[in-house]
A and B are shown apart, each in its own frame.
Chain A
Amino acid sequence: DIQMTQSPSSLSASVGDRVTITCRASQSISGYLSWYQQKPGNAPKLLIYAASSLQSGVPSRFSGSGSGTDFTLTISSLQPEDFATYYCQQSYSLPLTFGQGTRLEI
């Protein structure tokens, strides 16, 4: 199985900050990487797919990059509604696996 490791596990930031979250795969997954945002009590929401493609309706301050084993999610200017937990997920092969999550706090 492909293991996904996110860093950091938690992050404190302020409105307007630029934030980067990293995800590393235990083997190459090419560009088969998705990012999700989850707020307490809600289902996850797809933000980024294929490493760098923005899902429809997602603000352009979110961006993704990377290929192979190393990937990043960047939020260019944090907004109050962005404080949530973020997960990466490899879509390369079954079983599908998620990172452990990054909690973004004020």
Chain B
Amino acid sequence: QVQLVESGGGVVQPGRSLRLSCAASGFTFSNYALHWVRQAPGKGLEWVAFISDDGTNKYYADSVKGRFTISRDNYKNTLYLQMNSLRAEDTAVYHCAREGMGATRRSFDYWGQGTLVTVSS
């Protein structure tokens, strides 16, 4: 079955960096676009970044543009999010999510459970 498992979260000081990983299994990883979606404590869902199936196209929310970088390794079946210059407002649970195909394009048909990032001094 499809599984997405995030890791790499933790407590980090403002201005520092962190890299999140999302290990995928149960599907042909290189066939699917992927996203990061975050949820601040007690808040709603916020889309963060997109990467195409082959990694050539990337897109970011304005709130993270220039600070975060999405990437993927289609040999390791792993998605990444490099987060630099972290701010308190980046505190959230970060989910990786698989984008569907066909009619579910740009929808998220599978999600990981998420990894918590806390930015605090």
Is A55 close to B, CB under 8 A?
yes
Residue of B nearest to A100 (CB): B44
The answer to whether A44 and B103 touch across the interface, beta carbons within 8 angstroms, is no
The answer to whether A53 and B103 touch across the interface, beta carbons within 8 angstroms, is yes
Is B89 close to A, CB under 8 A?
no
Q: Which residues of B contact A62 (CB under 8 A)?
A: none
Our pick among B35, B44, B113 for the contact of A96 (Cβ within 8 Å) is: B35
Our pick among A45, A95, A99, A101 for the contact of B47 (Cβ within 8 Å) is: A95
The answer to whether B106 and A43 touch across the interface, beta carbons within 8 angstroms, is no
Majority SS at the chain A contact face? loop
Is B109 close to A, CB under 8 A?
yes
Count of chain A residues with a beta carbon within 8 Å of a chain B beta carbon:
26
A97, B44: Cα distance in complex, Å: 11
Q: Which of A14-22, A65-73, A75-83, A85-93 is the interface stretch?
A: A85-93
The answer to whether A46 and B107 touch across the interface, beta carbons within 8 angstroms, is yes
A99, B45: Cα distance in complex, Å: 8
Q: Which residues of B contact A100 (CB under 8 A)?
A: 44
The answer to whether B100 and A49 touch across the interface, beta carbons within 8 angstroms, is yes
Chain A stretch 10-39: residues in CB contact (< 8 A) with chain B: 32, 34, 36, 38
Shortest Cβ distance from B7 into chain A, in angstroms? Answer: 15
A99, B46: Cα distance in complex, Å: 9
**Total number of A-B contacts with CB less than 8 angstroms?**
64
Shortest Cβ distance from A82 into chain B, in angstroms? Answer: 19
Our pick among B59, B95, B100, B108 for the contact of A94 (Cβ within 8 Å) is: B59
The answer to whether A97 and B106 touch across the interface, beta carbons within 8 angstroms, is no
Is A42 close to B, CB under 8 A?
yes
A91 and B105 in contact, given A49-B100, A96-B47 (Cβ under 8 angstroms): yes
Residue of B nearest to A94 (CB): B59
Interface string of B81-121 (1 = CB under 8 A from A): 00000000000000100001001111111011110000000
Q: List 21 A-B contacts (CB under 8 A).
A: A36-B45, A42-B113, A43-B112, A43-B114, A44-B45, A46-B100, A46-B107, A49-B100, A49-B104, A49-B109, A50-B104, A94-B50, A94-B59, A94-B106, A95-B59, A96-B47, A96-B50, A96-B106, A98-B45, A98-B47, A100-B44
